[in-house]
Structure 1
Amino acid sequence: MIRHTFRQVARALSHGQRCLSDTSGGGVIQSEPSCSADLIKQASLYVHWPYCLRRCSYCNFNKYITRENKDDIMTQCLQRETETLLRLSDVTCISSVFFGGGTPSLAHPSIIAAVLDTVSKQVHIPQTAEITLEVNPTPEGMSKLEDFCHAGVNRFSIGVQSLQNEDLKILGRDHNWQQALQTIKQAISLCPGRVSVDVMFGRPKQTVESWENELSELLKVCDHHVSLYQLTLERGTQLFKQVQQGELSLPADDVTSEMYQCARRMLQQNGFLQYEVSNFARHNAVSHHNLSYWRGRQYIGVGPGAHGRFVLQGEGGVTREARTQTLEPDVWMCEVQQRGHGTRRRIQLGHLELLEEVLVMGMRMTEGIHHKHWELFSPDLGLMEIFGTSTEVQEFLQSGKLILDERGLRCTFDGLALLDSMLPALLVELEGQISPRLKRDHHAGGETKRRLPSQDDT
């Protein structure tokens, strides 16, 4: 089963990598349209809205509860940081925008419009660009859907999580199952074919049978994209404390594993093809923004706590940086007002770190990593050279968990559910092959990874 430890690694690495989409993939995924042959000039944009009305019992994301309206200053700062980071990246095209949080559906639609207007004044946004907004299925969220569309949003990601009111209360959600279904219906009427539904399994008291019934009901009303997540305990959350104190318990690992496999079968029977560990689509309604992460494209993160991966061409850079924005909104806003951006940490990615990200993120997809795609990042050492002679990889191949052939490296259907257990061995093998070469390059005068000055330093 895909465990939380892997999802933490993937989440940490998922904030944008480097280069081209793989145009030779099969299944539900099609190549994305590009604005330029020089894809170093293209990136995705993530915008973080940090505020929520309440904190869900399971959530440890960067979110804050505020009773003070700071929309004006937040808008100004989001616009200014967007301008600054676009200038530093020197990209000419933003291929997708994702407004996440927090609860971005709490933001006034004019804020979304203002950010998109700022982007369009600096770079090209294709008419086909995917503009996604996360929505909490509350009456307030549903009432603003049409206005969000007028602001430029053309895709909604709805955090349903459950169709059981009792479970929604345990999770600390501020909606009920009727509101969730109403929001889905309204969103589909506005953006048919471009509505994604998030649903969670492995919840307290949940059984395989109840999960099957719930998913069956959801599939009757959902659009063409489903994101499937296992509930996992996060230290510091209310749910973690409740489980630790014996007030609640989560299903055993073998039960959640059966839930995951059951969901995969049901989704497939309803025309949904799995194209990533947790994501399923029919009629090719994949999330192009998320595909940009998994395929190693550049990614710019704006807002409190946002992450990014891009080359600072505007400063003459040639190596990709990992950038993290200041977490706390008030501090972030002060920094943006003073310096134009709230970047708290900058790390220059070395060759090994970049390949680790390409491996971890690429293996999430059912199409895996094609040889030509890998060569974009590692022209001198191919997948066969790195993994072809590994004893552990051979065991994965022989047991039917991995496939390494003329197409590339990928998980089998059964192996994808066990990816987290295979990744450590793959990463060790990668390091074992790459590190000696890096040491030779270093002695020969090659570049090494280094921490760059943070915002506080500059």
Structure 2
Amino acid sequence: MIRHACLTVRRVLSVGLRRFSHVSTGEIIEDEFEWTHLSRQASLYVHWPYCLRRCSYCNFNKYISRQSNEHIMTECLQKETESLLQLSQVSSITSVFFGGGTPSLAHPSTIAAVLETVSRQANLSDQAEVTLEVNPTPVGMSKLEDYCRAGVNRFSIGVQSLQDEDLKILGRDHSSHQALQTIEEARRLCPGRVSVDVMFGRPKQSVESWEDELSELLRVCDDHVSLYQLTLERGTQLFKQVQGGQVTVPAEDVTAEMYQCARRTLDQHGFLQYEVSNFARHNAVSHHNMSYWKGRQYIGVGPGAHGRFVPLGDGGVTREARTQTLEPDVWIREVQQRGHGTRRKIQLSHLELIGSCLALSWVSVKSLVHPPRSKSYYRVDDSFLMTEGCAAPGMDWPYWTACCQLCWWSWNDKSVSSYKRTVMLMQKRRPPTHDDRNVNKADGVRESLFVG
């Protein structure tokens, strides 16, 4: 079995090598992954690091601001945006995503200032997708119209739950009623361009209550839904509560059934699953999300932001993985001194780029929605291929194991037995953790669901 699987992986790599055999010449190559090595286009991610409070489950790169420094933060976001755009020499920004943290705490003028900087350095079309994550509080909702005037044309609303008791356990600072009001207002301003985030696997949650909650959400939501499994992050308050026995979370087989239940329910409501956690109808996919999953260039701006692009301005010819300094105060000093706060950069080899592209393809819509008919899907032993995909050079192990477990549940209707078999196999041959762990948490990085 292993020998057969190795031959299959070798065949996949040989296909990848043929696809990218002309990379060294500097040509722009289009293929079925819609990926290019040297592209003049990129997406832009902007990280706002501040929150009013820390949610009990969250270990993203966020900070509780003790002083009002929005003016300085705005200037530094502009300066780093300008520096990295000049470094990348991209001619067009195809999408912008403001994440965090809680970017809906930022003044609309900050959003407008960053977008103006982008427009001065590169083409930012009027049709380009500009997304802002919104915390559905009264303050957040009151600024939605101003954000639209600033240039935002898509909202991602962190609903997380429609159960007030669960919101308190999660440490959220909004109610279910406020979330519903925010969705309504956002849909009025950006019809067809509102996404809602909802979390499953929460404390005391059952499959039946999850199904009822999802049905309620689908009565009011727009055309995009993002599902996230609650994961217990070491060092968070919720992790300590679960470890101490004060709080209990559903068993993994129950969580697996919740995921399958959500897929069925969303499908019945016309939503297409185009990525492990994202569902859309009426062609309302997130173009920014798709730029990640198609392996395109993206530039990360702000404390802890992560990016991958070719630094043509420095004479570079190879894509680099870049991570910005995490701590806002240190990042501000570095941006003021040298124009950007890049703390770490790693040149990615051609093999690493191919591995990344293959891993992305395995958890994309082609292999996720119709695996038996997918030309880019080589199924010999699911667990082995998941291991290979997760261990692809340049990938973050926790993120890919989480993604591929969701894919595994998607491929199998018998999710409980599938989950147990997957865990058993992964415990036998889990690869070592990679050093490339410092990926921006706001990009959706999740801890591994497989406990070795």
Task: Report TM bin, short chain.
Answer: 0.7 to 0.9
**Alpha-carbon separation, structure 2, partners of 1:412 and 1:259:** 10
Q: Distance in 2 between matches of 1:39 and 1:154?
A: 28
Deviation, 1:100, is 0.2
Counterpart CA distance in 2 for 1:97 and 1:141 is 19
Looking at structure 2, the residues matched to 130 and 362 of structure 1 have their Cα atoms a distance apart, in angstroms, of 23
Q: Give the partner amino acid of 1:188.
A: R
| Residues 48, 102 of structure 1: 8 Å contact kept | yes
Aligned to 1:363: 362
Structure 2 SS opposite 1:297: coil
Residue matched to 2:180: 181
Give 1:115 deviation, angstroms: 0.1
Partner of 1:230: 229
Comparing 95-104 with 125-134, greater Cα deviation is found at 125-134
Q: What SS does the corresponding residue of 2:110 show, helix, strand or coil?
A: helix
Q: How does 1:250-269 map to 2 (within 5 A)?
A: 250-269=249-268
Letter in 1 for 2:167: L
* 1:78-93 matches, cutoff 5 A: 78-93=77-92
1:290-317 deviations in whole A, cap 9, x for unaligned?
1000000001000000000000111111
Q: Is the 8 A contact 2:48 2:103 kept in 1?
A: yes
User: How much has 1:251 moved relative to structure 2?
Assistant: 0.1
Q: Which residue of 2 aligns with 1:101?
A: 100
Structure 2 counterparts to residues 10-49 of structure 1, below 5 A: 40-49=39-48
Could you say if the C-alpha distance between residues 394 and 263 of structure 1 is closer, same or farther in structure 2, counting changes exceeding 3 Å? Answer: closer
| Aligned mates of 1:112, 1:393 — CA distance in 2 | 44
Contact 1:224 1:281 in 2 (8 A): yes
Moved over 3 A (4+): 18-24, 391-397, 410-413, 415-422
Matched residue of 2:283: which SS?
coil
| Mapping of residues 283-362 of structure 1, within 5 Å | 283-362=282-361
Q: Structure 1 residue aligned with 2:381, among 383, 386, 392?
A: 392
Question: Displacement, 1:365?
Answer: 1.5
Is structure 2 residue 403 aligned with structure 1 residue 414? no
**Residue 361 (structure 1) shift:** 2.2
User: How far 1:364 sits from its partner (Å)?
Assistant: 2.0
Query: What displacement does 1:236 show?
Result: 0.5
Q: Report the equivalent of 2:214.
A: 215
Question: Displacement, 1:351?
Answer: 2.4
Give the unaligned 5+ runs of structure 2.
1-22, 369-374, 387-406, 430-435, 437-452
Q: State the match for 2:277 in structure 1.
A: 278
- Structure 1 distance, partners of 2:127, 2:37, is 19
CA gap of 1:221–1:366, structure 2 versus 1, over 3 A, is same
Q: CA deviation at 1:273?
A: 0.8
| 2:133 aligned partner | 134
- Counterpart AA for 2:206: T
Moved more, 332-341 or 351-360: 351-360
Q: CA deviation at 1:67?
A: 2.8
Alignment deviations for residues 324-376 of structure 1 (CA, whole Å, 9 cap, x no partner): 0000000000000000000000111122322232122222212149xxxxxxx
Whole-angstrom CA distance in 1 between matches of 2:88 and 2:173? 38
Q: Is the 8 A contact 1:22 1:295 kept in 2?
A: no
Percent of pairs identical after alignment? Answer: 70
Cα root mean square deviation, aligned:
3.1
TM-score, with normalisation over the residues of structure 2?
0.77
Shift of 1:66: 1.0
Quote the offset at 1:412 in angstroms: 9.7
Give the count of matched residue pairs.
Answer: 374
Letter in 1 for 2:175: N
TM-superposed CA distance for 1:413, in Å, is: 4.6
Structure 1's unaligned 5+ residue stretches are 1-17, 25-30, 370-381, 398-409, 429-448, 450-458
Q: 1:50 to 1:394 in 2, by over 3 A?
A: closer
Relative contact order, higher structure (CA 8 A, sep 6+): 1
Q: Is the 8 A contact 1:21 1:297 kept in 2?
A: no
Change (3 A) 1:393 1:38: closer
For 1:103 and 1:263, how far apart are their aligned partners in 2?
27
State the one-letter code of the partner of 1:48.
H
Distance across 2 between alignment mates of 1:245 and 1:179? 32
Q: Kindly provide the CA deviation profile for residues 11-49 of structure 1, in whole angstroms up to 9, marking residues without a partner as x.
A: xxxxxxx9878668xxxxxx8xx9xx9961000000000
Q: Is the 8 A contact 1:305 1:326 kept in 2?
A: yes
Q: Distance in 1 between matches of 2:245 and 2:383?
A: 43
